[in-house]
Amino acid sequence: MELLELLTQTPSVPGRESRIRQVIADHLAEAKLVDEMHVDPLGSLLTIRKPRGAGAAQTAPQRVMLAAHMDQIGFLVSHIHGDGTLRVNPVGGFDPRNLFARKVRVCAASGDLMGVMNPGGKPIHISSPEERKKVPEINEFYIDLGMSGEQVGEQVKLGDMVVLDGPFHTVGDYVSSQCLDNRVGCWAQLRALEQLGDHACEIHAVWTVQEEVGLRGAVPASYRVQPDIAIACDTTLCCQTPGVPEEQRVSVAGGGVALHVMDSSAISDLGLIEEMEALAETHQIPVQRALLARGGQDGAAMQRARTGARMVAMACPIKHIHTVTEMAHRTDLAAYVALLTAFLQSL
């Protein structure tokens, strides 16, 4: 879990992915997991791992693309007030109800600054009953860095990245942290490459940028790779929480890795889902199907690149998604890596 913890504690929002990309690239290089590595103009990390073992002799191996988005939801500084307080623009989908009383990290060129985020307005003691009921808009939140306007002006620039500060913890059978969406997918790709033995397919493992603002990095990356088979490695909702009807739970925590039958961006290839389910049965890996009414993932871009690809979206169920208390079940994490590894080995 140390690698997953490191990935969740490395800030990288859409358009500012250089830090997480470096962590992933260093890990790939140290463990010699890939044969080629390069960064495309948008910032996605593209790698190639050639076939290994007996299958390596074939002339035209299947091209299998894995894609995990490495950005997390966050903010960019949009205004610096004279008193040093900051306003921010969200990059990714936040629920303002989860933003009260948050510690944040403002990533300035001179170094990271700790700050506190709250909506403008009065504390409960002096607010009216009407004021207490209102949920503020994101543009009503501000960041206090505890420094003078002059000090802030010297260090912070418009466009600097801001992330919520959410530590990594073990909670019962789960791990809990911010941005398990989608550091879990980034982690699963790394772990699968580590555990792979010989394989006949050519693996194009990609860590994409700017997914949280509309699958932007996956578009040119898939166009370049031109895969035969595409596997999106991401997370999905798990709404097994009080107040949500059972039919809206999407996935079951501890029920195994989820295969996304469909979401609002893409429909997975049914043949690939069935192949994965058969493999899961053979290897006794827990697996489940999930359908999501709204929301997309990089698989949508991959299946439509050039002349198209067969695509399946794998996802780890996440409770409290898009908060700093996201939770992933250990059974699902293990199943994710096991099924991805077995599938790559089977091609």
Q: Known catalytic residues?
A: 211
Q: Is the dihedral of CA 328, 332, 338, 339 positive or negative?
A: negative
β-pair partners for 171: 174
Q: Residue 199 in 3-state DSSP?
A: strand
Q: Is 182 in the site for Zn ion (CB under 5 A)?
A: yes
Is 181 or 202 the residue whose CB approaches Zn ion more closely?
Answer: 181
Q: Is 269 in the site for Zn ion (CB under 5 A)?
A: no
Stretch that binds Zn ion, among 16-24, 139-147, 165-173, 228-236 (CB under 5 A): 228-236
Q: Are 263 and 313 in contact (CB under 8 A)?
A: yes
Q: Is 181 in the site for Zn ion (CB under 5 A)?
A: yes
Stretch that binds Zn ion, among 50-58, 121-129, 179-187, 274-282 (CB under 5 A): 179-187
CB of 321 to Zn ion, least distance (A): 8
Is 17 or 234 the residue whose CB approaches Zn ion more closely?
Answer: 234
If you write DSSP's letter for every residue of 142-162 in order, what string do you get?
Answer: EEE-SS-HHHHHHH--TT-EE
Stretch that binds Zn ion, among 188-196, 227-235, 237-245, 260-268 (CB under 5 A): 227-235
Phi, psi of 289 (to 5 degrees): -95, 150
CB of 235 to Zn ion, least distance (A): 5
Is 113 or 209 the residue whose CB approaches Zn ion more closely?
Answer: 209
Q: Where are the alpha helices (DSSP H) in the chain?
A: 2-8, 18-30, 129-133, 149-155, 180-195, 218-225, 270-283, 299-303, 330-346
Q: List all residues 6 or more positions away from 217 whose beta carbon is below 8 Å from its beta carbon.
A: 40, 42, 43, 44, 69, 71, 208, 209, 210, 211, 298
Q: Are 111 and 11 in contact (CB under 8 A)?
A: no
Q: Is 8 in the site for Zn ion (CB under 5 A)?
A: no
Phi, psi of 329 (to 5 degrees): -80, 140
Q: Is 234 in the site for Zn ion (CB under 5 A)?
A: yes
If you write DSSP's letter for every residue of 45-79 in order, what string do you get?
Answer: EEEEB--BGGGGG-SS--EEEEEEE----EEEEEE
CB of 71 to Zn ion, least distance (A): 9
Is 160 or 234 the residue whose CB approaches Zn ion more closely?
Answer: 234
Q: Is 71 in the site for Zn ion (CB under 5 A)?
A: no
CB of 234 to Zn ion, least distance (A): 4
Q: Residue 191 in 3-state DSSP?
A: helix
Is 160 or 181 the residue whose CB approaches Zn ion more closely?
Answer: 181
Taking CB atoms, the residue at the shortest distance from Zn ion is: 182
Q: Is 332 in the site for Zn ion (CB under 5 A)?
A: no
Stretch that binds Zn ion, among 35-43, 140-148, 194-202, 233-241 (CB under 5 A): 233-241
Is 86 or 215 the residue whose CB approaches Zn ion more closely?
Answer: 215
Q: Which residues bind Zn ion (CB under 5 A)?
A: 181-182, 234
